[in-house]
Chains A and B, each alone.
Chain A
């Protein structure tokens, strides 16, 4: 069995696809590409494909990852080319790399994600609000539970927030916990900030796994430098 890690984008209007819709889209693209997919055993064989971290509807992304198992080995570039012929440009495959099929799946390793929120205006009270979020020890939000809403403290899942004023537009970088051990959703934090009049665009820059010296991207890159100037 041969595992490949596929790095792709989710741009523009395609941010509206749900996680399930994205899965179906990739499975069908792989099938159309004529790729020799490996299937699970049993009555209802399913393609062996796993996404690193589900992305909430409405969020664009520079770097999404999935891993797929094939029954034969392929050149990474060939797989990339074949897939890009079968995908809309907004879901472009940027990189394909072979991965170790015996190592834990990327989905099990991802612990954090970096988001960039673009606000159409930058206001001083906004900076104060971000600062007070960063200074809080408890931030409770409501999440739908099985029977009723439940309260969750998301403060421990907020690793860092960094607000920048770029020619009058507010750019908020958010480094948040995500994955199996809990996390915060970008929309939960945006809802805690003063209400915006203009559009708010959210983009995931990458997901992160723990490395020997802090968090790294699946490609092995460290967090960007601007991080030193954060709250």
Chain B
């Protein structure tokens, strides 16, 4: 191992032995689970879900959970050359010696890294090739709501919150192992009976003569249609790690994190998280305060992030921030608010917490005109954005980062001009601000490309063709150059295309993912490793085209490859929201007793709504 650590870049990625990591003898474990994040250590270790499940499952009797991350190119080469299987960080157990390996599905560009890890871990890539002594491969996370492009590689997927589903599954596994660990298919059929567990091999996909998706059917009685997501209703009682593992190397989000609430009720129509994580469930202030104290004392982190999908929507945000400021007075703990709505109060709070540091605030108008913001249901006005930016620039001399999305449904040239105009107005505030010295540009414009996501009202919308995206980006770049002090960055169009292909893909894409992996694709989210041409080759060998998937615009009554997986939201509601988008009508956030009627059960807002 010492020789291996000496031979790679950034060896702390593979060292393990961090403070708060859990080391036990794996031979004593009745159920040995690997939590796998299909990216490098510094990315995977920044992910909150992994930390929650690590704490949760390690607390279950007889269960031992370890972490494993994707190998970088240099380690991959050594593993292959020396015929060493990919190993876990804690006990350095080969991946194929685990009982189960659970992957989190966070972004489409991590798919090939799953195959990389299975391959390097000496586990057969296909569920159908695995035998009784191979681990079960499970998946979960937001992209499990359409795992079809990965269907043949996974034995099981957890749909929705894993806090309750995972312990049930592990308990079932323990019983199966005790009975002699024989008959994988039998175990899978039993597991399929658990709510929220999807076993892809128990379903078959169908296409019509023209190659159009025609639906999915269950092959056995155990396979539910649809599989409904699991929801942790009481977040107050849900497990949260007392302490995070403290990494030796610098990771992407190198800080303590509190999860203020799960879900978001704003209902921005492009945002998948806003639909799949419903309903909103808050943690109470006192609980968060207790968690914050334990976390800082147990990790030594000097930053605490108050995370959620829209942190300023937390109902007691002021009370929480004051309480935490009081708790950490004199302790050099910086609080940060990562996801803000554009309102002056939230921006003032965020700027105050930064205490004059150059981190700056991020405002996400998403679209350049009120018409388009209404269409996507982003309920902020130009005045909101301008006032929020003025607070950051003038009152705090802070930097402002603006997020926009290009190619949203119904976008026209006027919307792009509006975007440039809004940026110009903000850049004028900056220069008008008193006491601002000339220096680095205070405004950073970041533009991503619209990717239609499943289970949103825009799942029926196509992504623009790449040439059109490029020409719109060029137009924006030219327009923004007219404003001084504005820097512009945009998401790679090739990556956005691939995201769109995989996000709404069907099972036929599995052969493409596998082929792309064989052609050398791994860690596609890294610019230095990404190659669209490999993917194009893989698609063409399967007689499929990227455009057919990315530009797919199904009718509302067409069957969709992810229809058999349910977020609990009525498809009728999504259709209604899609129509309202086309009309440019907003739908209010489902809080304060207002219910948009999404059909979700066990939602306090819907009960409220029904009572009215």
If A13-B2, A20-B250 touch, whether A43 touches B15 (CB-CB below 8 Å) is: no
Q: Point out the residue from A32, A43, A57 that lies within 8 Å of B19, measured CB to CB.
A: A32
- Of the candidates A16, A24, A39, A58, the one having the most CB atoms from chain B within 10 angstroms of its own CB is A16
Residues in A neighbouring B2, C-beta threshold 8 A: 12-13, 15
Residues in B neighbouring A86, C-beta threshold 8 A: 19, 300
Whether B299 and A28, one on each chain, are in contact in the complex, defined by CB atoms closer than 8 angstroms, is: yes
If A16-B11, A21-B12 touch, whether A39 touches B356 (CB-CB below 8 Å) is: no
Whether B357 and A13, one on each chain, are in contact in the complex, defined by CB atoms closer than 8 angstroms, is: no
A210 within 8 A of B: no
Min CB distance A93 to B, Å, is: 15
Whether A32 and B298, one on each chain, are in contact in the complex, defined by CB atoms closer than 8 angstroms, is: yes
A194 within 8 A of B: no
Whether B250 and A24, one on each chain, are in contact in the complex, defined by CB atoms closer than 8 angstroms, is: yes
B246 within 8 A of A: yes
CB closest chain-A residue, reference B243 = A32
Alpha-carbon distance between A217 and B12 when the two chains are bound, in angstroms: 30
Residues in A neighbouring B301, C-beta threshold 8 A: 28, 31
Min CB distance A199 to B, Å, is: 7
Alpha-carbon distance between A14 and B357 when the two chains are bound, in angstroms: 34
**B interface, how many residues as a size bin?**
20 to 34
Whether B5 and A16, one on each chain, are in contact in the complex, defined by CB atoms closer than 8 angstroms, is: yes
A127 within 8 A of B: no
Binary interface encoding of chain B residues 273-315 relative to chain A, with 1 for a CB under 8 A from any of its CBs, else 0: 0000000000000000000000001111110000000000000
CB closest chain-A residue, reference B5 = A16
Residues in A neighbouring B1, C-beta threshold 8 A: 13
Binary interface encoding of chain A residues 167-207 relative to chain B, with 1 for a CB under 8 A from any of its CBs, else 0: 00000000000000000000000000000000100000000
Min CB distance B91 to A, Å, is: 14
Scan residues 11-36 of chain A and give those whose CB is less than 8 A from a CB of chain B. Answer: 12-18, 20-21, 24-25, 27-32, 34
- Of the candidates B6, B250, B355, B357, the one having the most CB atoms from chain A within 10 angstroms of its own CB is B6
Binary interface encoding of chain A residues 118-131 relative to chain B, with 1 for a CB under 8 A from any of its CBs, else 0: 00000000000000
If A13-B5, A27-B300, A30-B300 touch, whether A43 touches B356 (CB-CB below 8 Å) is: yes
CB closest chain-B residue, reference A31 = B300
Q: Point out the residue from A16, A39, A47 that lies within 8 Å of B6, measured CB to CB.
A: A16
Q: Point out the residue from B15, B246, B332, B355 that lies within 8 Å of A13, measured CB to CB.
A: B15
Residues in B neighbouring A14, C-beta threshold 8 A: 15, 17
Scan residues 122-166 of chain B and give those whose CB is less than 8 A from a CB of chain A. Answer: none
Scan residues 30-56 of chain A and give those whose CB is less than 8 A from a CB of chain B. Answer: 30-32, 34, 37, 39, 43-45, 47
Q: Point out the residue from B12, B246, B356 that lies within 8 Å of A17, measured CB to CB.
A: B12
Residues in A neighbouring B357, C-beta threshold 8 A: 43-44
Scan residues 1-53 of chain B and give those whose CB is less than 8 A from a CB of chain A. Answer: 1-3, 5-6, 11-12, 15, 17, 19
Residues in B neighbouring A15, C-beta threshold 8 A: 2
If A43-B355, A45-B332 touch, whether A31 touches B302 (CB-CB below 8 Å) is: yes
Residues in A neighbouring B332, C-beta threshold 8 A: 37, 39, 45, 47
Alpha-carbon distance between A31 and B304 when the two chains are bound, in angstroms: 14
Alpha-carbon distance between A20 and B332 when the two chains are bound, in angstroms: 20
B526 within 8 A of A: no
A88 within 8 A of B: yes
21 contacts between A and B (CB under 8 A): A13-B5, A14-B15, A14-B17, A16-B5, A16-B11, A16-B15, A17-B248, A18-B12, A21-B250, A24-B250, A27-B300, A28-B19, A28-B301, A29-B300, A30-B300, A32-B297, A32-B300, A39-B332, A44-B357, A47-B332, A86-B19
Q: Give me 5 other A-B pairs in contact (C-beta within 8 A), A27-B300, A28-B301 excluded.
A: A14-B15, A15-B2, A31-B300, A39-B332, A199-B3
**B interface list, Cβ under 8 A from A:** 1-3, 5-6, 11-12, 15, 17, 19, 246, 248-250, 297-302, 332, 355-357
**8 tightest Cβ-Cβ pairs between the two chains A and B:** A28-B300, A31-B300, A16-B11, A32-B300, A16-B5, A21-B248, A43-B356, A58-B6
